[in-house]
A and B are shown apart, each in its own frame.
Chain A
Amino acid sequence: MKNQRLFILSGLLPALLLVLVFTYYPFFKGIMMAFQEYKLFDLRNVHYIGLDNFKAAFKDPKFLMALKNSGYWVFCSLILQFMFGLILALLMKKQFRGRGIYQGFAFYSWALSGFLIGMIWKWMFNSQIGVINDLLLKFGIIHERIGFLSDPKWAMVSNIVANVWYGVAFFAIMLLAALQSVPSELYEAAEMDGATGWRKLMNVTLPYIMPTIIATTLLRAIWIFNDPAIIYGLTNGGPAGSTHILSSLMLDKIIYGGDYGAASAIGIIMMVILLLYTIFFLAVTKAEKVGDF
């Protein structure tokens, strides 16, 4: 018994200690910074300033833009990734010749870094020598080149296109796994009741994989919201700050501004948004259990 306690302790200690010291401690330290004047290049002048960083954020048009963009970015990316991913998973559910190879090519984007993906799409979206403009012109879809990255009207759309390209694979993987776990007896029973393709999908398949759908959309939205890598590689917030989301703006404040106070304030606002989102999402989907996920 005593041995067992020792085993539990020694098994958990390295993991717990490292996570506490290098994740939670700096995290709470960062939260404190949001209430401080804290600039990397002026460390002698660090002091508490109450809510000033938050007030400054809400007065900053760049921040308000990023707030709006974040909503747009998460909503469009999530819906499109989910939709294309679900269709893909449904079509791939039945074994077909070469499915394994197909899967490899269809899902590889998952192994690339968001930054590189942003970079590659930056090359393809280029207004002069970009291949996307060239293809659209060739097929007669457009008649003059579009400044995908220089025109604020298009820049955010371009980011979302790259992000959808990146994230479809994630949903396809998770949903495919869930689809394959649907017991075949359920389909047999439905068939005996005379259900056909569409009805089987709506009455058997979707309800069965609903927990996976809820969990993946919940988590994925948080990741999309938190991860600025694609935007960093593709437009890095430009032109003129029009494509920043909250996380990329926060990164910008750290890397280029060294303004940790302002960055942390944005981080806290992000946390509040995430918390509200999660509570709302769980209430709507009535899936308290997903908290255990």
Chain B
Amino acid sequence: MKLRLLSLFKFAYLSLYLIIMIFPLYWIVITSLKPQKDIFSFPLKYWPDTITMDNFVNIFKISKFHIYIGNSFLIAITAALVVLVIAILSAYVLARFSFRGHRQIMLAFFATQMLPGFIALAPLYLMMSNMHLLNSRMSLILMYTVGLIPFSTIMLRGFFQRIPGSLEEAAMIDGCSRWSALVRIIIPVMLPGIASTFIFAFVQNWNELFLAVMFIDNDALKTLPVAMNSFIMKFDVDWGAMSAGAVLSIIPTILIFAFAQRFIVEGLTQGAEKG
């Protein structure tokens, strides 16, 4: 009897939670597919009579949406790749060697996760201005890379620590240098961890808004979040277009997440536990 009650509770809780999680996504997708007049009609339509792609066509007409999508992909992927290279090196060193300053470096990386980042926003703006990088994709690639180095290092370090050091030592006895042992032996074993770090970095970059708002003014260089942000200011009432934009900006991260969610979860928890 007690067991039945428990499994009933379990079923109810899990179902209710799932409905609450899915509903906002459903609602924004449905809104994006409704004709303009149905979006604001009473009573609300939970299931549209007619489905239209007009809102999607419209956002490409009223704005350079394909350019924003391109910018977002370019910046997010480039920064994620660069951060991988840099973080693999630092994570490997921090996982395998002990040396003076080791603890301090780890601490410095951890601390970046806790600082209120906006304190640095204004000086960064001035630095970018001095380096003539305002209104360039380069500024965002640089900033996203830097921003992700500490977390990616911590995460990858967790993965390196799971691989026994004897693996590359054997290769080095056979005459490999440390570099080639790292590239040829360790990195292939680490691929799941590297994939999860890359995906995590990509999603973070794809979603970043505030640095992009500060640094990018030029319409042709905007990323998706910045475009959506200026959308809100310009077309506050056009919820058809806005929901279409939201759906388009959500799709890549959801696809990636559905595909690689196991890796991400493992990466997050590994990095945290072994830190």
A residues contacting B by CB (< 8 A) are 3-4, 7-8, 10-12, 14-16, 18-19, 22-27, 29-31, 33, 38, 40, 84, 87-88, 91-92, 102-117, 119-121, 123-124, 129, 131, 134, 165, 168, 173-174, 177-178, 197, 212, 215, 219, 222, 226, 229, 232, 247, 250-251, 254-255, 260, 263-264, 267-268, 270-271, 274, 278, 292-293
Contacts and interface: CB of A to CB of B under 8 A. Distances in A.
Contact of A260 (B13, B122, B179, B206): B122
Interface in B228-275: 228-229, 232, 239, 242-243, 246, 249-250, 253-254, 256-258, 261, 265-266, 268-269, 272-273, 275
Contacts of A212: 273
Contacts of A88: 13-14, 17
Contacts of B249: 113, 116
A105 B78 CA distance: 28
Nearest to B110: A293
Contacts of A222: 113-114
Contact of A250 (B22, B93, B116, B146): B116
Given A19-B150, A123-B31, A229 B268 contact: no
A270 B105 CA distance: 24
A115 B261 contact: no
Interface stretch (B61-69, B84-92, B187-195): B84-92
A11 B149 contact: no
A103 B263 CA distance: 13
A87 B253 contact: no
A111 B254 contact: yes
Interface residues of B, number: 87
A-side interface mostly = helix
Contact of A19 (B24, B93, B146, B203): B146
Interface of B: 6, 10, 13-14, 17-18, 20-22, 24-25, 27-28, 31, 39-40, 42-44, 86-87, 89-90, 92-94, 97, 99, 105, 108-110, 112-124, 127, 142-143, 145-147, 149-150, 153, 178-179, 203, 206-210, 213-214, 225, 228-229, 232, 239, 242-243, 246, 249-250, 253-254, 256-258, 261, 265-266, 268-269, 272-273, 275
Contacts of B105: 12, 16
Contact of B246 (A25, A92, A116): A116
Contacts of B209: 113, 115, 229, 232
Contacts of B22: 105
B113 A26 contact: no
B164 to A, nearest CB: 19
A19 B107 CA distance: 13
A222 B121 CA distance: 18
A179 to B, nearest CB: 11
14 contacts: A7-B93, A8-B99, A10-B89, A12-B89, A18-B146, A19-B146, A22-B142, A29-B120, A111-B253, A123-B239, A212-B273, A255-B214, A274-B114, A293-B272
A120 B254 contact: no
